[in-house]
Amino acid sequence: PEMFRSLLGAGAEKQQVRNPTDQIVDEDMLVQAIKECWIEPYFQPKFTCQTQRLCGFEALARLNHPEFGMISPDSFIPLAERTGLITPLTLQILESAVLWLKQLDAYEIGLAVNLSRSQTDPALADQLLTLSSKHGVSPGRITLEVTETAQHQDPMQLLEFLTRYRIQGFHLSLDDFGVGYSSLVELARLPFSEIKIDKRFVGNLAQSTESQKICAAIIGLGQAMGLEVTAEGVENQHALDFLAQAGCDKVQGYYFSRPMPGYEALRWSRQYSSG
């Protein structure tokens, strides 16, 4: 982490992301943002927990408004989900992220992209596959993180939709595990290869024995079911030590790096990989 921080330098995402409670994005603005390509992925690195080797990046959407500046996804993803704009938005993020990943072909790193649970349109799986093969990136390098936002989900439809992605070679990750709607039944039945422990448990590992028990239990569950476990929201050495001891596979968080704009994440990866 010391080295990561010194590599990070000045440009890391500071506090320029707008407060998620700002209600400034409406549907018209979102339509315009998609049309004019104001939405771009930022990239947050992911590391192996035991050896702290860089193993991939997660793409996180930002709306870069020419007047208001950077707007956080919490201010526009729920709106995108309600209005159906989430599909063009996802395609844009995936395409930019895949093009970005192409520049790191020399390194064996993966890319994670977030999908909303409301995105059960079967055509989307084909569109994502078309996009990744158009740019020569194998779906095996891409993990789709499914966030738990849609309450009204038909389980059979979800199974069909996830299986489609899996057959095409994408990896699937169950995001925000431990909060929301995921159940053990779902975990056993659906074709996930990873679970992500939500940052609300990881963030207070130092203060809360309850969070420690929950994290350890999720890691044990992942191991028992043959799933990789990633912890998000690692903010200090204490959390990292706890997770490593508990057998967690991968970690992500401000302790290593905040999400970075593409050019900076590229420069950072090259510096990191050269020593």
Question: Between 49 and 275, whose beta carbon lies closer to ligand C2E?
Answer: 49
Query: What does the H/E/C string look like for 237-263?
Result: HHHHHHHHHHCCCEECCCCCCCCEEHH
Nearest residue relative to ligand C2E (C-beta): 253
Q: Which sign, positive or negative, has the C-alpha torsion 267, 273, 274, 275? A: positive
Cα(52)–Cα(242) distance, integer angstroms: 14
Q: Which of residues 61-120 bind Ca ion (CB under 5 A)?
A: 114
Q: Please, what is the minimum distance in Å from the beta carbon of residue 72 to Ca ion?
A: 13
Length of the chain in residues, anyone? 275
Question: Between 88 and 224, whose beta carbon lies closer to ligand C2E?
Answer: 88
* Count of H-run helices and E-run strands, the chain: 11, 10
Q: By CB under 6 A, name the binding residues for ligand C2E.
A: 44, 60-61, 72-74, 77, 90, 93, 114-116, 145, 147, 175-176, 199, 203, 232-235, 252-254, 259
Q: Please, what is the minimum distance in Å from the beta carbon of residue 73 to ligand C2E?
A: 4
CA angle 198, 247, 109 (to 5 degrees): 70
**How would you classify the pairing of strands 110-116 and 142-147?**
parallel
Q: Please, what is the minimum distance in Å from the beta carbon of residue 41 to ligand C2E?
A: 7
Binding mask 162-201 for Ca ion (x = CB under 5 A): -------------xx---------------------x---
Enumerate the H helices of 114-225 as residue ranges. Answer: 122-134, 155-167, 184-189, 199-202, 209-224
Q: Please, what is the minimum distance in Å from the beta carbon of residue 114 to ligand C2E?
A: 4
Q: Please, what is the minimum distance in Å from the beta carbon of residue 92 to Ca ion?
A: 17
Residues forming the site for Ca ion (CB under 5 A): 114, 145, 175-176, 198
